[in-house]
Amino acid sequence: MSSRRSRQHSGSTRISDDQIIELVSKLRQLVPEIRSRRSDKVSASKVLQETCNYIRSLHREVNDLSERLAQLLTTIDADSAEAGIIRSLLNQ
Amino acid sequence: MNDCVPDFEIQMEEEEENPIPVSKKASTQNDDIMELLWQNGQVVMQSQNQRPIRKPPREIRSSEPQNYANNQHLFMQEDEMASWLHYPIHQDPPPLDHHNFSADIFYPPPNAALQCSVRADHLRHPPPRPPIPPPSRMHNFVHFSKHANASLSSKVAAAQPTVVDSCDTPVATADRVETARASGGKPAAPGGGRETATCDMTVTSSPGGSSGSAEPDQREAAVDRKRKGREAEESEFQSEDVDFESPEAKKQVRGSTSTKRSRAAEVHNLSERRRRDRINEKMKALQELIPRCNKSDKASMLDEAIEYLKSLQLQVQMMSMGCGMVPMMFPGIQQYMPPMGMGIGMGMGMEMGMGMNRPVMTFPNMLASSTLPAATAAAHLGPRFPMPPFHMPHVAAPDSSRVQAANHSDNTMLNSHGTLDPDQSRIPNFTDPYHQYLQLMQAMNQPNVSKPSTSRGQENPEKHQSDET
């Protein structure tokens, strides 16, 4: 979905600056922590670092929520609509 | 490293305190076990309990390639015969050897062919050495040193005399010459492996010849040599330093500007490289976090990371909403509803499965009942705002695709969203529900062609809601 710019022919280890800028800007939009910062000062490595941290925190949050949902599932009527929702959420 | 060519630069850099010994062979000498250690391309003779003789790298520099062999300052153990085989071609006075055998010992035999790999080039300024070896050895060394003197290069010759003189003894002088020649011939003959044997032979022969007269003198000479050797070494070092630094100085003087520029460019390249390394490292870490990412292409990997991040965000919203949903059963459930996530969660919920439509519908109903006061106010507005205002911010995201997928369920969604209007006060920037609705519809219409269906679907929720309420 992102437009790919032509890359330098230097192997998979190289990536053009334009690509980095483009993708980094996208990531910046998604990561809330960076969004609040001044965009012109954020470096690519910083964005990548924040993205990694954000993904890890999201993972943790998903795990926590899954636990909570599992607990809630036990407290409610298994046939209720909410149970169905919770189950679908947990099965993602 | 090249055996045959002295690596001056390497020697210069390698002033290790302890040579990295790769034992080439162990030769058993008369009394001690000498080891041939491989140091930086040179074999250094070293007694097991003694440190190798080191020679300042600079010494080698001055010597000619063929003389490199002579630069080997072996660490000679007293009984080590082979040590005198490898003499630095004179150069400088006994290198770092403060050992019993002064550097003189290591003066190379005239025969440049002697490719004693032993080299003490990188030997550093050695600390004080143990007492001198038997005089017989010294005798030989003296000879060699003298011999080496003759073949010294100009530079070395300057230093040499110092050493040579120091060990010069009236009696031994003549002997030296003879022995040097004799020993010179021998070392040349054998290869590296036979050096030891040769040394032995030579050594044994020489003592017999001149031990009587030369011993006492040799002892003194050895001591002197040691002392002078040290001095010579220092002077050698200094001279070496000077030589070494001169080229740099010249460079500095000549091209100060160009040097600065080149250095700046180098610095820039280095920093650029470091930056790239940092980025690559972070990308690798990111790739590990993304499940089932088999892309080696950085750009596609980043794309996938972006998608994964979005899906993770949605998932978290959904789950948080789901968690909040259960407590919704109770009054005062408003507080459990995440202001922003609610609408989106609902939208996403639609995508999760068709089966969720009904459950989702009940949810908003409960909300409506629990939030009667607010609902009442917004009841008449509810039907008109099927789309929650908080969909706005995410319209830019691929919500359109999601909406398409959930078109059929839009009715429910709109209905549910409509009841959430009272909560929209928590949503930023939305003061007028009607305006919010308009904005939302506008946004929805733009990216999604199927918007008309959604707008049509809004009619149903109205009826739905009225029916259910």
Give per-residue pLDDT as tens, B176-191: 444 444 444 444 444 4
Burial of B424 (0-12, 13-18, 19+ CB in 10 A): buried
The tokens describing B191, both together, are 């290869």
Interfacial A residues in 24-53 facing B (CB < 8 Å): 26-27, 30-31, 44-45, 48-49, 51-52
H/E run at residue B25: strand B22-28
Name which of B119, B145, B136 is nearest B54 in CA terms: B119
The string of DSSP letters for B283-326 reads: HHHHHHHSTT----SHHHHHHHHHHHHHHHHHHHHHHHHHHHHG
Candidate from B275, B279, B299 with C-beta closest to A4? B299
* Cα B277-B278-B279 angle, rounded to 5 deg: 90
Q: How large is the ipTM?
A: 0.78
What is the value of pTM for the model shown? 0.34
- Alpha-carbon distance of B225 to B426, in angstroms, equals 93
- Alpha-carbon distance of B107 to B94, in angstroms, equals 7
Fold type of domain A17-91: MYOD Basic-Helix-Loop-Helix Domain, subunit B (4.10.280)
CB distance B305–A86 less than 8 Å? no
**pLDDT 10s per residue in chain B (469 long)?**
555 555 554 444 444 444 444 444 444 445 666 666 666 666 666 665 555 444 444 444 444 444 444 444 444 445 555 555 555 455 554 444 444 544 444 444 444 444 444 444 444 444 444 444 444 444 444 444 444 444 444 444 444 444 444 444 444 444 444 444 444 444 444 444 444 444 444 444 444 444 444 444 555 555 555 555 555 455 544 444 455 555 555 555 556 788 899 999 999 999 999 988 988 888 888 888 888 878 778 788 888 888 888 888 888 888 877 777 666 554 444 455 444 444 444 444 444 444 444 444 444 444 444 444 443 443 444 344 433 334 344 444 444 444 444 344 444 444 444 444 444 444 444 455 455 555 555 655 555 444 444 444 444 444 444 444 4
State residue B247's pLDDT score.
55
For tokens 């230093």, the residue is B159
- Alpha-carbon distance of B355 to B172, in angstroms, equals 110
Residue B134's alpha-carbon distances to B96, B101, B140, in angstroms, are: 19, 9, 10
How far away is chain A from the Cα of B282, in angstroms, using its nearest Cα? 6
Name which of B393, B396, B380, B394 is nearest B434 in CA terms: B380
Residue A64 identity: D
DSSP H helices in B168-293: 170-188, 195-254, 256-289
Candidate from A58, A69, A76 with C-beta closest to B312? A58
- Alpha-carbon distance of B469 to B371, in angstroms, equals 13
CB distance B302–A23 less than 8 Å? yes
Residue B378 identity: A
Q: At what angle do helices A44-75 and A17-30 cross, to 10 degrees?
A: 30
- Alpha-carbon distance of B432 to B44, in angstroms, equals 90
- 3-state secondary structure (DSSP) of residue B28: strand
CB distance A82–B302 less than 8 Å? no
Domain ranges of chain A: 17-91
Name which of B426, B401, B253 is nearest B336 in CA terms: B426
Give per-residue pLDDT as tens, A34-62: 666 666 667 777 788 888 888 888 888 88
Residue A50's alpha-carbon distances to B17, B172, B448, B461, in angstroms, are: 45, 79, 32, 42
- Measured from the Cβ of residue B338, the count of other Cβ atoms closer than 10 Å reads 17
